[in-house]
Structure 1
Amino acid sequence: MKENNRRWLTICGAPSLLAIAIAALSSPAVAQETLLEEVITIGTRVEGRSATDSAAPIDIVTGEAFVNQGDGDLNNLLRNIVPSYNVNTKPISDAASIVRPANLRGLPPDSTLVLVNGKRRHRAAVISFLGSGVSDGAQGPDISAIPAIALKQVEVLRDGAAAQYGSDAIAGVINFQLKDAAEGGALELKHATTADGDGDQNMIAANIGLPLTSAGFVNVSMEYREQDATSRSVQRDDAAQLIENGNSFVASPAQIWGQPEVDDDTKFFVNSAIELNDAVELYAFGNYASRSTDGGFYFRNPETREGVFATKVLRDEDGDGVPEEILVPLIGDLDASNGIDDCEGFTVAEAHDSDECFSFTEMFPGGFTPRFGGDLEDYALVFGVRGELANGIGYDVSASRGHNQVDFNIYNTVNATLGPDSPTAFSPGGYVQNETNLNIDLTKATEIAARTLYMAAGLEWREEEFKVRMGDEASWAVGPLTEQDFLIGSNGFSGFGPEVVGTFDRDNIALYSDFELQASDNLRLGAALRWEDFSDFGDTSNIKLSGHYVVSDVLALRSTISTGFRAPTPGQSNITNVTTAFTDGKLANRGTIPPTNPIAVLKGGRQLQPEESLSIALGAIVSAGDWDVTLDFFQIAVTDRITQSANQELSDEERAQLVADGISGADSLSFFRFYTNDFDTKTRGIDLVATYPLGDATDLGFAVNWTDTEVTDFRPETMDAMRLRQLEDGLPNLRGNATLTHAGDGWRGLVRLNYYGSYWEAHLDDYSLPIDAGDEWTLDVEAAYDLSESLSLIAGAENLLNNYPDKNPWAGVAGAEYPETAPMGFNGALYYVRAQWDF
């Protein structure tokens, strides 16, 4: 723990907890009225606590709230309900289109710890190279692999919890609790389509509970889903000009912006437990998921795309004796035995008539737009035993294994150095993430001076393994046209060659202790301490202090202060990648190299260290009449945040060195990035949640989140103005919703009004293309009618009024009609019908 963290604990933590303690001593004992009866399983290791008993804010969302929506992706379903959770469509974002990064409380996805049944969920193999600034370089879990029908409830802990749960819990914790019924079940059929008639989603889902002898259960859930692509595109200006000039081979639109196509989206979950006797229970749960994703890439102009169709030469076009760089057609000499100058100065037409000279306009006269996607596989298994010893010590011993693998594919493109022999479809390789966890958790309650002290302690061992799988040879091969300025590797996403593949791993061990003291009838205090040691960077220690005080039947106060950390992943420390992105208004190849690569070191790269955080939260719980209200303020200061650096320019010598290091496509790199502990931020926010019953069958609920992030320190060598603005303004500061639900005799209905605040986008990650997008409102509705006691028909709409975000003022640059980072999405209305059979 850093010295400044210790100082903050002394200066800030003591007064906030002391204030609660003083109030307890000066006020009469009053029994607290429970505002929410749901029992929580995170944020405390004491059984039976409710959400309003917690010293930290916890959202509890029932499984039905996820099922009763139109979309089939759990990321979108969670965004619709929890205002502090943000995720957008990611139409053209490399691997981020396959596993979309999501943000809780304005922080990147790997700053939120994800649990299933209280056990750590493994992260996805995908690293978000194009993460719209906030998520650049993040490697979070794949939440969309979880089927909504499998969920009993979801708990969102909006508080720093690294001292309790370990790495990643800086922004908070999301715990997905699986259904545990031993009988009954449900079958659901759903069809959804957009108002534009595209983006169809078809889904079948089922859940069944079965007894496991008379003392246990097996609960099984499955979901199969397919999602068509959408297009919210206009014709690019350069493509329109080509067509106007007579090129009839250019597609319309030349480049598609929309949600990717998802095929064979299969999800399977099993949850089970059996009591061996009154004091011992065995449990196991796990999942298997797979899907294929296919999305778009950027258009390659047949007249200007360097390294494929064109090249730069120095010529004195004006005759003033000063040569200037101009673009000319790139013509390859297929017979280099007599030199490579025989085709110099040829026009495209002359090359087409020559057996020795070659232009890629022969294969793609209208240019081409690569299609990129991947096949994802995800599985996990957790098993354990829990119970209570004769001396009252509770125990939970568990082991888990998680696996996530993505194999990429790209087609309608070329490895330009192979000339006419290049295939047009490639398998560039893939990433694999494996994680193994072993846990021993112990609990004990004891009496001290007639007050109950709850104690917990534990041991955890974890191993993370990140693997880079080799691509097919054509995707990274150095072909015969390399010396003629043609680009190496599958264009758009270069394959992983033998020099960059490998397995990178690390392990860590953790010890923790956790205490909660019922200091008086009104006051409860808590403290947690965690020490972890990592094989790659050493150890870290973190602490959390908390308090909950009941002032009266109407008011209760709560406060926490904690330090936290997020360890760099093996993938972030070792990844090498070449992708194509917009830079300064045009396509350019951009690489990511390890921070310890000598070239990265010259630009400020160094061995990654953990991020460290200091979180402070103060909240109030109010029960006034029929109103239940929680209001919470939070502040999260994060130092040494890990992210991709700003673009670093390469010299010819550095580019040659990267080629010598075996990085496919490095010859064409204009820029590169590396992971770095780059900057510090301070994120402040307020969460307001309120519920009010309008009658026996009608409820009104409000949820509002305001979050503001400020970059407080950074290194100018690796952080540019665009990244600063993305981090501070890339997500809406204000999000909220108001929900009205009614359950009538044989029918039910839901109306939800959503608000998305304004935000800023550097379109195409280009600072010269800014978008100041305004706030938006959307309306969701759903109505269900019971045909019988077991069969229901449901119809609804998300964004009923077909609202769209502000138009993109730079639409002609790359064809995106709307801002790609719009927090509400840009597909417009989604209309759906469902049939649900309960048994």
Structure 2
Amino acid sequence: MMTLQNKRKFGFSSLSLAVSLALTGTLASQVAFAEEEAKAETQNIEKIAVVGSRAAPRSVGESPVPVDIIGNEEFTKNGATDMNDLFSKVVPSYNVNAQPISDASTLVRPANMRGLAPDHTLVLLNGKRRHRSSVIAFQGAGISDGAQGPDISVIPAIALKQVEVLRDGAAAQYGSDAIAGVINFQLKDNSDGGTIEARYGEFYEGDGSSPMIAANVGMPLTDNGFFNVSGEYKTQDPTSRSVQRDDAQGLIDAGNTAVPVPAQVWGTPETKEDFKLFFNAGLDLNADQTAYMFGNWARRDVEGGFYYRNPTNRDGIYSADGGKTLLVGDLTGDMSGNCPTINVVGGVPDPDALAQVKADPDCFVFNEMFPGGFTPHFGGVVEDSSLVAGLKGTTKNSINYDFSLSYGKNTSDYYIKNTVNGSLGPMSPNTFNPGKYVQLERGASLDLSYFEIDTWSFAAGLEYRRETFEIYNGDPASFEVGPLASQGFGIGSNGFPGFKPEDSGSWSRGNVAAYIDVEKEITLDWLVTGAVRYEHYDDFGSTTNWKLGSIYNVAESFSLRGAVSTGFRAPTVGQNNVRNVTTAFSPNGLQDQATLPPTNPISVQKGGKPLDPETSFNYSLGGVLTLGEFFLTLDYFHIELEDRITQTSPLELSDADKDELLAQGILDASSFSAVRYFTNDFDTTTQGIDLVVSYAPDWLDGANFALAYNWTETEVDSWNPDNISDAKVKALEEALPHSKGTLTWTQELSADWRSMLRMNYYGSYWENHLDSDGELPIDVSSAVTFDAELSYDVNDNWSLSVGAQNLFDKYPDDNPWAGIAGAQYPVTSPYGFNGGYYYGRVSYSF
């Protein structure tokens, strides 16, 4: 029987290769492993991972928990260019959708791994914690509501050496957020050579064109170091998969020729520009010491659509009584204008009364400015920057150390166009800057490790982090209370009111952490690992978490592994302090919903209280089988998560609530129809299975077949029905497909030609359309799509590829509620709703 020690000594054994193949949680990465098997054996090299252990580096096949390694080449075999979309193609349990009309989530799309929220997955860059985005997902289809995770879309694929995905709870090792797992992006560290790549693609419908150019260059840093830099620039045109809204069509049929067609656009938002720059540098100071530094700067401008404002019944702009009469403003200042009443019958305002108002300078209706209604355009500029510098090496007594300092900043500067501040009447501008959010993180860490003391390995470390969340107020017109406010006109830029000066501020929190990791080879075939981590936060106190893991080689062709751990996720500073007002669809129509801090008096009035951390209990068990060229792995995971943090459902503010708050001096209470806040109000259990099969047959030279399948199910165990609605519970349980899988065939056709064909399966799911609290449910059936790519190496430097995603132009089921808001298809589809997409790629390597 081959031992763990022998495997470390001689490289990939057949078992280690099998587990490496099987644990790669993607079909694409399984293919890569199979293709590289011969190289690995002849060159005696191993695929090793940084995450999962702080002992001496080992192949992923020797890890007590599943660790996937996805090579850079897997990200290039796709037409997508956004890292979120690329990840969803190569990691079955990773889901992301388009977010066409979703406030700030349009700028930084929330993604879900293992059915949990975006901030339940810890993201590392070169093994160091990545800072959060400043965007909080206020409209996250239930699962992502209120989440504030890192923005991985700022990472260009060309900058990556590999990506490691630890599919297990790891808060005891890495701290807060590592509940669903850990994703570690490893930057390229070449000191010479490079690649220039150009791509172009668009949807079969002829829209959504997305040109991109990217480059990576490695340069020496003296004779003992490297400086590797990567850049990417791209744009993307918007798409539209919309039908005309019923109410808008009714206006057109009644003779209103100014109504937009379509009145409301559902599609991929426009990316006006997206620039990314990353660098990675290292310098050997001597035989035992290395200095390193890496960082990035990125800027992206994204603009999406919003809900249509009907010119007869939009509250606060066109009407104050549900569309019975138009809202007429008296501009005299003393109500001496004697403005007439404009009745609306059958969606048509009284033409004589409307003409009288338009002719009277003392009277005003917004039908003069936007006679066909209007649809705001919401967007923002996201800037992201980071810098990490450190020193690592080995002391004379063989203790390895790594000391680093880190800085990360993410800014979301919002804008909204084609809208008005109703209270300003005819003086209202149509473009506003509502303000911005800033997330700032600084940290310092010291990691120490000592390997192989009589089959023991030890590691310990200290970490300090300080997290700051800032709100900057918008331009005055975006929040100003104009002269028509007292007449029923809405206050602030309609659709996204600006942050007022009293909303702005800066809030910070510090935390310190200490951890110990231990690994022990009980026998030559049995490895046991353990970790304990203590953290103290300024706001909610302390937490201690632990983890145990083990791997046992039952036979040369079969291994068992498992782990059990506790974990936590600290409430973010943003969740504790954010203020936001958004327009959302409700059973009572569009309404302005305020998200306020849980300790705000308005929130307290509706039951708000300070947030506590989420806590988790994880366990996993896996087995690996290898029989010649056939590899199979099966991993089960179970995550119990308590005190989960989310936004409440919209809580209506009654007149009695408003009167009581106004009596307390809370003057803006009258501005909101409903309030939401963050709360620890439900518990869940998530469980699932990852199945991976890979087969490289001898009878078909150059071929590899791979199957990867994920099944995940979440059950809401308990919740507060006063804050969490039944529809939100159902969304948490059913808004993502329970099943997702891929079957891939890659083929080396010749020395110069390569092909890939992939079948994608998406299970059925339930959509709470328009976040309507279950009033507009859609049961979306399962679907199968296909991707294909053909590549040709012109010579040693040039390579050409053409391909298609969703080759046969598959769309989701038709939306049965399409006439209400104009969405032709369910908008949360995990494979999108734009249909087929073709692309071409040219690459030059040197």
Q: TM-score range by the shorter chain?
A: over 0.9
Give the share of equivalent positions with the same residue, in percent.
Answer: 51
Give a deviation string over 1:522-570, Cα, whole Å, max 9, x none.
1000110000000011000000010100000111000000000000001
What is the Cα deviation at residue 817 of structure 1?
0.4
Q: Does 1:824 align with 2:824?
A: no
Amino acid aligned to 1:156: V
Deviation at 1:662, TM superposition (A): 9.8
For 1:665 and 1:411, the matched residues in 2 are separated by 24
Equivalents in 2 of 1:365, 1:474: separation in Å? 22
Aligned mates of 2:435, 2:706 — CA distance in 1? 47
Q: Is the 8 A contact 2:633 2:692 kept in 1?
A: yes
1:591 maps to which residue?
594
Per the alignment, in what secondary structure is the counterpart of residue 66 of structure 1?
Answer: helix
- Alignment match of 2:399 (pick from 371, 393, 404): 393
CA distance in 2, matches of 1:364, 1:373: 21
Determine which of 148, 163, 168 is the counterpart of 1:154: 163
The aligned residue for residue 789 of structure 1 is 796
Residue from 268, 271, 291 that aligns with 1:282: 291
- Give the residue type in structure 1 aligned to 2:831: M
CA shift at 1:68, angstroms? 2.0
Shift of 1:573: 0.4
What are the ranges of 5 or more consecutive residues in structure 1 without an aligned counterpart?
1-29, 313-324
Match of 2:185 in 1: 176
Q: Tell me, yes or no, if structure 1 residue 477 matches structure 2 residue 483.
A: no
Q: Please report how far the alpha carbon of residue 336 of structure 1 lies from its aligned counterpart in structure 2 after TM superposition.
A: 2.2
Partner of 1:16: none
CA distance in 1 between counterparts of 2:314 and 2:663 reads 25
Query: Contact 2:313/2:323 (CA < 8 Å) preserved in 1?
Result: no
Q: 2:761 aligns with which of 755, 758, 769?
A: 755
Aligned-partner Cα distance in 1 for 2:668–2:270: 28
Q: Confirm or deny: 8 A CA contact 2:764 2:779 kept in the other structure.
A: yes
Would you say 1:729 and 2:729 are equivalent positions? no
Letter paired with 1:379: S
Matched AA of 1:376: V
Q: 2:264 aligns with which of 255, 273, 291?
A: 255
- Which whole-Å CA distance do the structure 1 matches of 2:821 and 2:113 have between them? 30
Amino acid aligned to 2:333 = A
1:658 to partner: Cα distance: 6.7
Can you list the C-alpha shifts for 1:449-508, whole angstroms capped at 9, x where unaligned?
Answer: xxx111000000000000001100000000000110100000000000011110011010
Q: Report the Cα offset of residue 694 of structure 1.
A: 2.8
Cα distance in 1 between the residues matched to 2:665 and 2:395: 58
1:297 counterpart = 2:306: yes
Matches within 5 A, 1:599-638: 599-638=602-641
Deviates more, 1:740-749 or 1:778-787: 740-749
Distance between the aligned counterparts of 2:755 and 2:665, measured in 1? 60
Shift of 1:697: 2.1
Divergent runs of 4+, >4 A: 30-33, 338-346, 656-666
Q: Residues 495 and 664 of structure 1 are in contact (CA less than 8 Å); yes or no, is this contact kept in structure 2?
A: no
Q: Which of 786, 798, 805 is equivalent to 2:812?
A: 805
Give the Cα–Cα distance (whole angstroms) in 1 for the partners of residues 474 and 668 of structure 2: 13
The answer as to whether partners of 1:497 and 1:663 remain within 8 angstroms in 2 is: no
Please give the secondary structure, in 2, of the residue aligned with 1:360. Answer: coil
Greater mean deviation of Cα atoms: 815-824 or 60-69: 60-69
Q: CA deviation at 1:349?
A: 2.9
> Secondary structure in 1 aligned to 2:211?
strand
CA offset digits 1:658-691 (Å, max 9, x no partner): 7899999753422110000010000010001222
What does residue 551 of structure 1 align with? Answer: 554
Equivalent residues of 2:625, 2:632 under 8 A apart = yes
* 2:422 alignment partner AA: A
Matched, 1:422 2:428: yes
Aligned pair count? 795
2:41 corresponds to: none
Secondary structure in structure 2 of the residue aligned to 1:458: strand
Q: What does the per-residue CA deviation read over 1:706-744, in whole Å, with 9 as the maximum and x for residues that have no partner?
A: 000000011111111110010000000000001111223
3-state SS in 2 of match to 1:803: coil
Aligned equivalents of 2:136, 2:16: Cα separation in 1: 46
Of residues 365, 370, 375, the one that matches 2:371 is 365
Residue of structure 2 equivalent to 1:440: 446
Q: Distance in 2 between matches of 1:276 and 1:75?
A: 37
In structure 1, what is the equivalent of residue 349 of structure 2? none
Structure-2 change in CA distance of 1:676 and 1:339 (3 Å): farther
Q: 1:566 to 1:757 in 2, by over 3 A?
A: same
Q: How much does 1:169 deviate?
A: 0.4
User: Aligned pair in 2 of structure 1 residues 742, 656: CA closer, same or farther (>3 Å)?
Assistant: farther
Pairing of 1:509-548 with structure 2 (within 5 A): 509-548=512-551
CA contact (8 A) 1:163 1:562 kept: yes
Q: Secondary structure at the match of 2:275?
A: strand
* Separation in 2, partners of 1:151, 1:419: 52
1:340, CA displacement in angstroms? 7.7
| Inter-CA distance 80–33: structure 2 relative to 1 (3 Å threshold) | closer
Matches of 1:370 and 1:663, distance apart in 2: 29
Matching residue's letter, 1:369: T
Q: 5+ unaligned residues in a row in structure 2: which ranges?
A: 1-12, 21-45, 344-352
Q: Tell me the TM-score normalized by structure 2.
A: 0.92
2:146 matches 1:137: yes
Counterpart for residue 497 of structure 1: 500
Q: Provide the residue aligned with 1:25 in structure 2.
A: none
> Which residue, out of 704, 711, 715, partners 1:706?
711
Aligned to 1:21: none
- How far apart in 2 are the matches of 1:328 and 1:559? 67
Q: Verify the 8 A CA contact 2:16 2:59 in the aligned structure 1.
A: no
Contact 2:15 2:626 in 1 (8 A): no
Conserved 8 A contact 2:553-2:560 = yes
Q: Which moved more, 1:611-620 or 1:786-795?
A: 786-795
Letter of the structure 2 residue corresponding to residue 453 of structure 1: W
In 1, the alpha carbon distance for the partners of 2:658 and 2:689 equals 47
CA–CA distance in structure 1, aligned partners of residues 291 and 624 of structure 2: 37
Which residue of 216, 221, 226 maps to 1:207? 216
CA distance in 2, matches of 1:663, 1:56: 52
SS at match of 1:362: coil
Question: Deviation digits for residues 248-279 of structure 1, max 9, x if unmatched?
Answer: 00011000000000022000110111111111
Tell me: CA distance 1:669–1:742, structure 2 relative to 1, closer, same or farther (3 Å): same
2:583 paired residue among 561, 580, 585: 580
Out of 382, 395, 405, the residue aligned to residue 376 of structure 1 is: 382
Q: Quote the residue 1:117 is aligned against.
A: 126
CA contact (8 A) 1:655 1:669 kept: no
The TM-score with structure 1 as length reference comes to 0.93
In 1, the alpha carbon distance for the partners of 2:276 and 2:470 equals 24
Distance 1:784 1:573, change over 3 A: same
Q: Cα distance, 1:656 vs. partner?
A: 6.0
- Look up the match of 2:75: 66
Distance 2:453 2:415 in 1: 61
Contact 1:476 1:665 in 2 (8 A): no
Contact 2:794 2:800 in 1 (8 A): yes
- Residue 692 of structure 1, CA deviation: 1.4
Please state whether the residue corresponding to 1:348 is helix, strand or coil.
helix
Query: Which of residues 740, 747, 759 is equivalent to 2:745?
Result: 740
Matched residue of 2:673: which SS?
A: strand
Task: Answer yes or no: is the 8 Å Cα contact 1:101–1:135 preserved in 2.
Answer: yes
- 1:476–1:664 CA contact under 8 A, matched in 2: no
- 1:328-370 Cα distance to aligned partner (Å, 9 max, x none): 2100001122468655568433211211111000000000000
Partner of 1:460: 463
Secondary structure of 2:527's counterpart equals strand
**Superposition pairs of residues 13-412 of structure 1, within 5 angstroms:** 33-35=16-18, 36=20, 37-312=46-321, 327-338=324-335, 342-343=339-340, 347-412=353-418
